[in-house]
Structure 1
Amino acid sequence: MRRSSGALAALVLVAGLVTAGCGSHGGAATPAEAAVDLSTLDVGPYKAEPGTWDKPRNTAQAIAMEAERLGNVVPLPSDIDPAFQYIGAQNSLVLTDDIKGSVISDFWKDDHFAEDGPGYAGGFATYARDDAHNNGTELLNAVLIFGTPDQAAAAATAYQARAFAAPATDGLGDTPDPAQPANEVVPIAKYPGAHAHWRPGQQAIFSWFAFRNFVVFTSVYGQDAIALHHADRAVLIDLVTHSLDAESAALQNYNSTPPDKLTDQPMDPDGMLNRTLERPKAATGEWVNPPGVYNARAALNFTDDQKGDKVWFERDGVDRFSDYGTRLYRTRDAAAALDARDELGGGSKHFKPSEAPKNLPAAICREYRGKELGTIRYYCAVNYGRYAAMSWSDQLLDAQQRISAQYAILVKAK
């Protein structure tokens, strides 16, 4: 299933390296916001007007929003084991019509996903590793939503059965490798209903567990152990058990929206997406997750510095985060927003200051000068009221235009 590799899908890195600035850390009076003539800002091709997010326009959008609501509930990998705090480049965490193109697809492939899981209605995945360079162990958990508990139970059985029967590959692609050992069922003593298996001698496990109307898919993959031909099944079982402990506790009192009510749910009750820059249609390949709004805890799924970001999230009272054409954070107050802006756009070890947008004194920009391949080069940040936002681009002018448009939206939003 899992292809042994140094990293997940090669995507541009935004989350991991953009939130390592030096905030003002509070304590000082908040400077008065300078008056800005919005007509003088260079917003380029971007729409500098607040959006309108009411109810989903179609079922696909409703499923995506339901998946994001679930993301606010499920545990972080670091909640399961504090060692798992490194994210890296990854595919989509928001699961919509299929698992293809999602972070799951690097661990579990099922060309008959819909056939094996009737009643599926989206889900949310979390992923992290215990080594910054992916030389250790990876932990992935995904919660899939189904219409009924019976559908979830049937899907968990069917998913595992098909994966169990799949031939082993050479680890470099989909070429069958008859030299690999056959899959073997792995009992999870605390959760006898879990359907789990591994290939003896390989430090990897795959588990599907039905809980209420959800299926929890868990995979543990030891990059270093596999390379060194070392396997410890007890370690794998322990991580699956701890994962199911955390996931079942989080889901115990969570009620997913009934399928016939999905399109009636408000998409943006806090007005975060209304205040966030739209994504340009010309750059659709730049994002892997659909537009979404999350609480502060769920926002940590989108950063590779969970420890550091958690510190300033708590310090600045971050309670909402939106991911759209920019990233927008709602903080405690204006002073906290200024500190958040400095975290998002200030200088640090791997960044040097860059020219800020013209006529926008509240904005700052920086350039990435580190060695991480695939990382976007320029980042700009701005604050207004209790909000702080960040834009990014490989072209400085584009990053400046995005943050200028974002500022105008914040000023105009009611």
Structure 2
Amino acid sequence: MIGSTKFRIGLALCGALITLTGCAVSGTPVAGEPDVRGLETGTFATDRHTYTATAGNRGAIVEGARMSAAVVPALRIDPSLSHGRGGVIIPDIERALDFIANVSKPVLEKRKFVTGYVALGADRADPDGKSRPSADATALTTALLRFPTAAAATLAARELEDVDLAVSPDNRKLSSTKYPDAYLHWRPGVPTIGAFLAHDEFVISLFIQRPKADATDLTAWVDQNLAAELTQLAKFAPTPAEKISDLAVDPTGLLARAVVADRSAMHPDQYSFATYAPQHLVNKAADLTVRQNLVDATGVEAHAVVDGGAVTRVRDQSAANALMQGLIDSAGQYDPITAPADVPTATCLKLNDSGNKEDDYVYRCYVTYKRYLAMVSADGEPEVRQKITAQYALLANSL
């Protein structure tokens, strides 16, 4: 499973952390809502904001985040694959080598790999303390690799297969009657299969594990995976390679609605400043079935992450409330605590003994506002209370 990473920013709060002291907040109250100008929000900026920057040399992050819409979650390949193992951007060659053989590096360099996104899933959770599926699991890795042109992708698929096949003299080629242009190989007696298929500017890279070493069965799973992925990819319009650096860093405006310590320090980063398609919210879940049902039921349109926080846009206010409750219900390692009384809809949680402080913040709070759900987190309770108050004020001032 792709491990979670905890990112911290030193926050300069307004006044001592042990006492929530207020700072002035702009905005005009709406009937039925508190006057956010009187809320205690510290030094967090809560005025309406727009990020106008373009991606520049971080275009691989922004386009990779866009590509989260182009990779099918494992659950939609087969309903049995309900255990999420993560989903991440592949922004460079070194990261790509986490999902394809190390001998592939010269191919990626020669064919000028651009960026990618990968989704992983299985039919059961990884064993406790392990980051790999058990031997009796069915597990899929679907990586979408982007190249500058269709011609480069076509060459890359063939060359990636060649170097992967050559890793062991025991490797053997297989073929798919449904996808004759796909390259497949396996090692007899080993219950895994690798596959590459070029499609326009992309190479679909698959790695599939099954409980038994059966070439016919493994090939059938490749066909099933490719069918789902090609259907998903057909809905996606890639950014021309020469325009990736010109991509807006905040195309949906969600990042501007998320509380951060310092707006001037924000730049594209897949964990602390990025906007994703709804599929990414599914891939991050441990239970893909529950999360996919929740995303579908609430009409999630886009999901943005910042350091220690997130903002999600859904169908309407009731959907935002339902999404909040669904996410809280799935946060088994957190227990409820009292939220700020002057922040409507706010709900706060504290990490319990089943959680891990190395991976998760101690405190987490949620708040809904119209069709938006926001989450903030911190390791101190005064800080997280101030932060969720600022988050509510920012949403109120932004809409």
Say whether residues 1:65 and 2:62 are aligned partners: yes
User: Share of identical aligned residues, percent?
Assistant: 24
Letter in 2 for 1:353: P
Q: Would the alpha carbon gap of residues 346 and 235 (structure 1) be closer, same or farther in structure 2, given more than 3 Å must change?
A: closer
Letter in 2 for 1:140: T
Aligned equivalents of 2:222, 2:330: Cα separation in 1:
40
3-state SS of paired residue (2:206) = strand
Say whether residues 1:301 and 2:301 are aligned partners: no
C-alpha contact (below 8 Å) 2:310/2:376 kept by paired residues: yes
C-alpha contact (below 8 Å) 1:187/1:196 kept by paired residues: yes
The answer for the alignment partner of 1:263 in structure 2 is 245
Q: Would the alpha carbon gap of residues 348 and 301 (structure 1) be closer, same or farther in structure 2, given more than 3 Å must change?
A: closer
Aligned equivalents of 1:240, 1:388: Cα separation in 2:
37
Aligned equivalents of 2:271, 2:250: Cα separation in 1:
16
Q: For the aligned residues, what is the CA RMSD? A: 3.3
- The correspondence of residues 64-83 of structure 1 with structure 2, limited to 5 A, is 64-83=61-80
Q: Would the alpha carbon gap of residues 310 and 192 (structure 1) be closer, same or farther in structure 2, given more than 3 Å must change?
A: closer
Q: Which runs of 5+ in 1 are unaligned?
A: 1-6, 14-31, 168-180
Aligned equivalents of 2:77, 2:297: Cα separation in 1:
24
Residue of structure 1 aligned with 2:187, choices 188, 194, 199:
199
3-state SS of paired residue (1:87) = strand
Bigger relative CO (Cα 8 Å, ≥ 6 apart): 1
The answer for the alignment partner of 2:154 in structure 1 is 153
3-state SS of paired residue (1:293) = strand
Letter in 2 for 1:53: Y
How far apart are 1:75 and its partner, in Å? 1.8
Of 292-301 and 143-152, deviating more is 292-301
How far apart are 1:272 and its partner, in Å? 1.2
Aligned equivalents of 2:301, 2:294: Cα separation in 1:
12
Residue of structure 2 aligned with 1:127, choices 115, 120, 127:
120
Aligned equivalents of 1:160, 1:290: Cα separation in 2:
34
C-alpha contact (below 8 Å) 1:41/1:360 kept by paired residues: no
Letter in 2 for 1:342: Q
The answer for the alignment partner of 1:54 in structure 2 is 52
Q: Would the alpha carbon gap of residues 97 and 52 (structure 1) be closer, same or farther in structure 2, given more than 3 Å must change?
A: farther
- The correspondence of residues 9-408 of structure 1 with structure 2, limited to 5 A, is 9=3, 11=5, 34-38=33-37, 40-43=39-42, 46-60=44-58, 62-88=59-85, 90=86, 93-100=88-95, 105-106=98-99, 108-110=101-103, 112-113=105-106, 115-133=108-126, 134-135=133-134, 136-166=137-167, 182-222=170-210, 225=211, 230-252=212-234, 254-278=236-260, 289=271, 291-325=273-307, 326-345=309-328, 351-357=334-340, 359-369=342-352, 371=354, 376=360, 377-408=362-393
Aligned equivalents of 1:296, 1:303: Cα separation in 2:
12
How far apart are 1:41 and its partner, in Å? 2.3
Aligned equivalents of 1:273, 1:350: Cα separation in 2:
27
TM-score normalised to structure 2 length:
0.78
C-alpha contact (below 8 Å) 1:116/1:159 kept by paired residues: no
C-alpha contact (below 8 Å) 2:99/2:143 kept by paired residues: no
Q: Would the alpha carbon gap of residues 361 and 10 (structure 1) be closer, same or farther in structure 2, given more than 3 Å must change?
A: closer
Letter in 2 for 1:299: L
3-state SS of paired residue (1:200) = coil
TM-score normalised to structure 1 length:
0.75
3-state SS of paired residue (1:120) = coil
C-alpha contact (below 8 Å) 1:156/1:210 kept by paired residues: yes
How far apart are 1:118 and its partner, in Å? 1.9
How far apart are 1:219 and its partner, in Å? 0.5
Aligned equivalents of 1:34, 1:211: Cα separation in 2:
51
Letter in 2 for 1:73: A
Letter in 2 for 1:330: R
Q: Would the alpha carbon gap of residues 396 and 129 (structure 1) be closer, same or farther in structure 2, given more than 3 Å must change?
A: farther
Aligned equivalents of 1:182, 1:232: Cα separation in 2:
15
C-alpha contact (below 8 Å) 1:119/1:148 kept by paired residues: no
Aligned equivalents of 1:199, 1:290: Cα separation in 2:
40
How far apart are 1:247 and its partner, in Å? 1.9
Q: Would the alpha carbon gap of residues 392 and 129 (structure 1) be closer, same or farther in structure 2, given more than 3 Å must change?
A: farther
The answer for the alignment partner of 1:27 in structure 2 is none
Letter in 2 for 1:144: L
3-state SS of paired residue (1:93) = strand
How far apart are 1:279 and its partner, in Å? 7.2
Letter in 2 for 1:97: D
3-state SS of paired residue (2:196) = strand
Aligned equivalents of 1:159, 1:53: Cα separation in 2:
39
How far apart are 1:49 and its partner, in Å? 4.7
3-state SS of paired residue (1:161) = helix
